[in-house]
A and B are shown apart, each in its own frame.
Chain A
Amino acid sequence: MSNKTIFGLIIALILVVVGWNSFFVVSQIERGIVLQFGKVVKDDVQPGLHFKLPFIQEHRLFDGRLLTLDSATQRYLTLEKKALMVDSYAKWRIANVERFYTATSGMRSIAEERLSRQLESGLRNEVARRTLNEVVSGERDQLMADITSTLDTSARRELGIEVLDVRVKAIDLPSEVNRSVFERMSSEREREAREHRAKGRELAEGIRADADRQQRVILAEAFREAEQIRGDGDAQSAAIYSEAYNKDPEFYSFYRSLQAYRESFSSKSDILVLDPESEFFRYLQGNGVR
């Protein structure tokens, strides 16, 4: 290799390094600034390929997307001094790159720490103004909107950050309260269960009693009707008898008595002690002539 070649190579190397240092790329997902001796000379550099003065200016890139601050679960007190465990997150992004850089020297962790402190105090204030029920159910949206707007204002001013949204991921009761909630739920269920069983017994008793009543009524009415029928039979038969026997009561009594005799002396075990003088035996004595 000749000297010329070596010299050319060195020149080339220097040129490459210089070139390397005079261009930088800002990606679509980034925000950039250019510093000159630590002072911001270009704010909010757009995505694309950019030129800077090598070795004099340096560029800094920050994540320009929407970022998530996932804050830890914290204990808050409501208006009626009940404790709540609230887990929330905030969606933020860099609004003003220069301010962001000067406030946090571009460190996301610092920004998030300050943001989460503000978020926490904002939540604390808002929760303390509301009852537990309002926080849990009714006013979540309003609560979040309030916190978002206050947080946004202060974060823009202090950190160059815009807070797009603050949301509560979870609102739970502290674990020691959970236990009592479970007990209450259990007791409510038990009450319901007892109610059901009692209602069942009540119904059953009613149905049984009604059945018994119906049974008695049916039998009694049947008895009444049966007695009427029997009476009717008795009456009709009596009428028939009297119609027949009234023709000659004397003869009837004779006829009926004979029947009765026949009926009453019908078995061998009846012993008749008779007087031969009686009417029946009048032909037994003598010679048959009266």
Chain B
Amino acid sequence: MAWNEPGGGKNNNQDPWGSGGGNNDKNNGNRGGKQGPPDLDEALKKLQDSLNGLFGGKKGSSNNGGGNNRSGGGAGIPKAVWMIGGLVIIAFWLFSAVYTVDEQEQAIVLRFGEYHRTVEPGLHLYFPPIEKKFQRNVTQVRSYRQQGQMLTEDENIVEVPVAIQYRISNLENFVLKVEDPETSLRHATESALRHVVGSTSMHQVLTEGREQMGVETTERLQRYLDTYNTGITVVQVNIESAQAPAEVQDAFDDVIRAREDEVRERNQAESYANGVIPEARGQAQRLLEEANGYRDEVIARADGEAQRFNQLYVQYEMSPEVLRERMYIETLQDVMSSTSKILVSGGDGNNNLLYLPLDKLMQQGGGGSSSSSSSARTDSTTSDAQSRMPVQIQQRDLRSRESR
């Protein structure tokens, strides 16, 4: 580091000494300047004699460094010792006096307590103890959060968490103008935020009003900070999700649930409607189709029957008698052949008491033998005897007719 710099360091620090002495109108008696009174110089030398080796205060040591350049060394102490001591002191002093200001930083330097200069990034030198420096990062965005319960305009209580981002924009003000600027920032934030929340309705605070509130709070907070000269710039005020206090959170949640219930009820009803109405339309369709089917059916039947009749009628007109006879006989033949029959010769009323065991006949399942031996009847369980029964009756009837 500075091991190869003592020579340069000496030149370096002689120059400022000169200028330092020149800058001050006052006569710095306790400083080894060229204008210093000789008796004082003498006295200092004596002082060094006694203090050699004990470099206590920096004040003393820097004086020694200053004084030593011109002094020829004290009595009884070898020059070399003075030299080495002086060099060590100068090195120490340099070590503390040279400082770097980072790219993100600024430093301010006070000389004799008075604001002297603001230092931009780079390698710099200052002169403790007559100068003091404050060095802070001025580009870094710092942030903190706070939260609390506060009153809204409509006298409700809400819980509002807020995150503040800020940076030190004016180091001079930050350091010199306000006691504890960051506490001031916290106070001001609280005040500004509550002011804004206090003039907003709860609904706004909890819902869409947050962004607007953030903007208003930022503006108000910055105004306070500028009034106080804190040297702080607010980058952003971010009002995070404000919510109702825990004591009433349940009720608020219930409102949300209620909204969902509302939607659910409506959806259920709509799904019911969506089920019922198409079903009804389907039923309606069925009714119409059935009706259409019926209409087409009856018309077709009518058509068919009418045409059949018409065709028959054409024949009828040609030979009515024969056709009638034939139709009659055919019909009766059909009827007779498919039913059970009992012939009862009525005669001239002499046969006025005739007992027919109709119930018996019925019990036989109406099993009459048809002249057409239809074997298509699968359910026929009738025996031959049974099936011949009406026939026997017939025969008997016929015999009785013959005997008569």
With A225-B288, A240-B302, A285-B401: A207-B283 Cβ-Cβ less than 8 Å = no
A228 to chain B, nearest CB (A): 8
Bound-complex Cα distance A245 to B307 (A): 10
Q: In this assembly, does A196 line the interface, its C-beta being within 8 Å of a C-beta of chain B?
A: yes
Contact, CB under 8 Å: A192 / B258 = yes
Contact, CB under 8 Å: B277 / A211 = yes
With A66-B177, A211-B272: A190-B251 Cβ-Cβ less than 8 Å = yes
Bound-complex Cα distance A248 to B323 (A): 14
Bound-complex Cα distance A98 to B73 (A): 49
Q: In this assembly, does B195 line the interface, its C-beta being within 8 Å of a C-beta of chain A?
A: yes
B103 to chain A, nearest CB (A): 26
The count of chain B contact residues (Cβ–Cβ below 8 Å) is: 128
Q: Pick from B110, B148, B262, B292: contact of A170, CB below 8 A.
A: B148
Contact, CB under 8 Å: A214 / B280 = yes
Q: Pick from A66, A189, A236: contact of B248, CB below 8 A.
A: A189
Which residues of B sit under 8 angstroms from A236, Cβ to Cβ?
A: 295, 298-299, 302
Contact, CB under 8 Å: A8 / B42 = yes
Which residues of A sit under 8 angstroms from B356, Cβ to Cβ?
A: 273
Q: Pick from A47, A165, A207: contact of B113, CB below 8 A.
A: A47
Which residues of A sit under 8 angstroms from B298, Cβ to Cβ?
A: 233-234, 236-237
With A26-B113, A189-B252: A268-B368 Cβ-Cβ less than 8 Å = yes
Contact, CB under 8 Å: A274 / B341 = yes
Stretch at the interface among A33-41, A154-162, A177-185: A177-185
Q: In this assembly, does A81 line the interface, its C-beta being within 8 Å of a C-beta of chain B?
A: no
Q: Pick from A165, A214, A276: contact of B277, CB below 8 A.
A: A214
Q: In this assembly, does B373 line the interface, its C-beta being within 8 Å of a C-beta of chain A?
A: no
Segment 73-87 of B: residues with Cβ below 8 Å from A: none
Bound-complex Cα distance A190 to B291 (A): 56
Contact, CB under 8 Å: A203 / B266 = yes
Q: In this assembly, does B350 line the interface, its C-beta being within 8 Å of a C-beta of chain A?
A: no
Bound-complex Cα distance A140 to B153 (A): 12
Stretch at the interface among B8-16, B92-100, B232-240, B358-366: B358-366
The count of chain A contact residues (Cβ–Cβ below 8 Å) is: 120
Q: Pick from A46, A200, A212, A234: contact of B265, CB below 8 A.
A: A200
Contact, CB under 8 Å: B227 / A165 = yes
Q: In this assembly, does B26 line the interface, its C-beta being within 8 Å of a C-beta of chain A?
A: yes
Per-residue CB proximity of A135-159 to B under 8 Å, as 1/0? 0111011000000000000000000
User: What does DSSP make chain B's interface, helix, strand, loop or mixed?
Assistant: helix
User: What does DSSP make chain A's interface, helix, strand, loop or mixed?
Assistant: helix
Q: Pick from A48, A67, A171, A193: contact of B112, CB below 8 A.
A: A48
Contact, CB under 8 Å: A196 / B259 = yes
Contact, CB under 8 Å: B361 / A271 = yes
Which residues of A sit under 8 angstroms from B228, Cβ to Cβ?
A: 66, 91, 164-165
With A221-B284, A244-B309, A272-B341: A194-B346 Cβ-Cβ less than 8 Å = no
Segment 329-361 of B: residues with Cβ below 8 Å from A: 329, 331-332, 334-336, 338-346, 356, 358, 361
Per-residue CB proximity of A1-39 to B under 8 Å, as 1/0? 000010011011001100110000111111000000000
Which residues of A sit under 8 angstroms from B365, Cβ to Cβ?
A: 268-269
Q: In this assembly, does B126 line the interface, its C-beta being within 8 Å of a C-beta of chain A?
A: no
User: Among A89, A167, A194, which residue has the most Cβ atoms of chain B within 10 A?
Assistant: A167
A172 to chain B, nearest CB (A): 6
6 closest residue pairs by CB, A with B: A233-B295, A222-B284, A200-B262, A269-B366, A237-B302, A226-B291
A binding-site residues for B, Cβ under 8 Å? 5, 8-9, 11-12, 15-16, 19-20, 25-30, 46-49, 51, 63, 65-68, 70, 89, 91, 132-133, 136-138, 140-141, 164-165, 167-173, 178, 181-182, 185-187, 189-190, 192-197, 199-201, 203-208, 210-212, 214-216, 218-219, 221-223, 225-230, 232-234, 236-238, 240-241, 243-245, 247-248, 251-252, 254-255, 258, 261-262, 265-277, 280-281, 285
Name 12 A/B residue pairs within 8 A (Cβ), A-sorted: A65-B179, A68-B184, A133-B153, A193-B254, A195-B258, A196-B259, A197-B262, A207-B270, A214-B276, A244-B306, A261-B335, A268-B365
